[in-house]
Chain A
Amino acid sequence: MSASLAAPAPAGAGRMTLRLVLIGAMLVLAMLPVLNRLPPDSALHVSDFIVSITGKWITYAILALAIDLAWGYAGILSLGHGAFFALGGYAIGMHLMRLIGPRGVYGHPTLPDFMVFLGYRELPWYWLGFEHFPFAILMAMAVPGLLAGVVGYLAFRSRITGVYLSIITQAMTYALMLAFFRNDMGFGGNNGFTDFKELLGMPLNTPSARSTLFYASLLLLLGSLWVCGRVTRSKLGRVLVAIRDAESRTRFLGYDVTQHKLFVFVLSAMIAGLAGALYVPQVGIINPGEFSPGNSIEAVIWVAVGGRGTLVGALLGAFSVNALKTWLTTVAPDLWLFALGGLFVAVTLFLPRGLIGLFQKERR
């Protein structure tokens, strides 16, 4: 796949293997909800826990893909992609809150509980429309895309790159976190949204909802993989690599670097937003903690561990680091942050091309 960028001519066989492994992994993933339906005493039975956590990881993998598109290809190291993910999550969260209707604790026909509690008389204008699912999904893409467009335009036009850009994106997600913590923003303050009932007429927290959301996530993963592959294999992908490696040279060739970076940054934010929109119904909660800078940094580490600049690497990183996290936070919760930091240092020092580098031939 995108490994073709790193080693264009000779890697034919390696690329085929990689593609087969990828297809195999997707098939295994697709089987999980089916195996979940087997009787619990069957050898092949997969627990509810595995299905729900894998569904969550798939949305993380989509986020990793989005980061890799911007960072691995165009060299835009965003330390605020968690914000786009969280905004997508809030958009679907608003829809889920509207669907609760009169079943809330206070029984108000339209207002969510927290609004009744805070003394709202009517829905704020920016909540209008969210009772419609398509509108919420549209917003899950449009809001992150718009934010990325504004921040990106200002930064790229002023030729802010490298660590300065990273700091700006980090500040962006931190500012959003502080804003969403405020009760008067109208997004539930530090409690955020939870206690969702149903989505598209399907009660959440049932096996069928779990497997539907799982397959929706898997479809989005495949779709994102296709879109990202379409971009990176086109001439645009090569322009992005050119910008990453020699931005000013690309300008002298006549490319408007700002436009290209903006395109990829906005696309990446929209993919991240959709991932967030599938994440929230699966975990059943969204709160301002999702904007915390630590989340964004962790997502960047997934990509670094897996191998940036190759789309498969991002997926590999997201799954393997999160598997490690799940295991380690059960066995030795205190060790996790040290392990994450250590992992990042180790990968930077010994595996600059990430885990995927172990499978690639030496670049010549």
Chain B
Amino acid sequence: MSEPAVPSALEPASATETVAAPTSAIADWIRDLCGDQEWLAWVVITLIGLGALAALASVSAMVLVWMERKVSAHMQLRLGPMRTGWHGALQPMADGLKLLFKEGLLPRTTDLFSYLLAPFIPMATALLALAVIPFSETWQLADPELGIIYVAALSGMSVFAILIGSWGSNNKYSLLGGMRAAAQALSYEISLLLVLMTAVLMSGETAMQAIVQSQEGYFWNWWLIRAPGVGFIAFIAFIISATAELNRAPFDFAESESELTGGFHTEYAGMAFAMFFLAEYVHLLVAACLGAVLFLGGYLPPVPALAFIPGPVWLLVKAFGLVFLFMWFRWTFPRLRIDQLLNLEWKFLMPVALLNLLAAGALRGWGWL
């Protein structure tokens, strides 16, 4: 496990440095090994960090796929996968192998460049967003000053995958799914940003690490509880807009299986489909981690006495709790209609988020936070 950050000569001198170098026992050890070669240390540390992130992403995607299967099964009076390993724990492996050996179909009518480009985008944006999530004081690949803006920018990027893929597929069902995704992402981006700004206002910070640190102490210091009412409303608005951003039920319009067969990924098969599929779960993890960081104290324990349990555990516990919430929604609610979805955003969620932002500003201005 990580140790407290040891001040090192290579640490950024000023807080204005955009990307702080990762500090941990491993990082310090590598810096020691490289000696004067600072650039080499930087390259090695970055590569190790990226590898760790990729491993985390793929492992957690597998865990989430298994979890989705089991959660849905138990909500539907079923058992779900039971034969591949303990309670079907190896089922994601079996799924992955099946998709790997499937023929990569290339329909004749596709726009080849965009059709092949699209599956790479969602995984890339998900991994990039994961880079700024603080798993503990030291376990964070990068902590840019504007971390929260960076995450918002990346979440806006992920809709391009759906748009490009649906356009490139040259299928009417895909196109309808893509159009819906564009309308949905454009709308819900606004309330998501307003919620993120509310969190920034409450904590007075934009860097992820600093936002977590601002919730130090007992669980009533978490922004969900600490800002009276405002934090709770912001959290609910975050959950709704994150569900919409993730294209998950009840807002899964880009797919809407019963209407558009497969939606934007109708024409994708094999690994191309698997990329969309796995990226969806990595995005889910990122969104859950973001919710935990902004409102639930990130890697901080609920009471300081529990600090002996390491930070990454706390963050993952909170994140998986939120993931369960997302899954619960998916397997309970019917799907809205696209016009109802947009009405919900423009006539309800955005005004509420905006007023909430003003309230947060007022609380901050009067010094109540």
A and B: bona fide binding partners = no
Q: Which A residues fall within an 8 A CB radius of B?
A: none
Q: Which B residues fall within an 8 A CB radius of A?
A: none
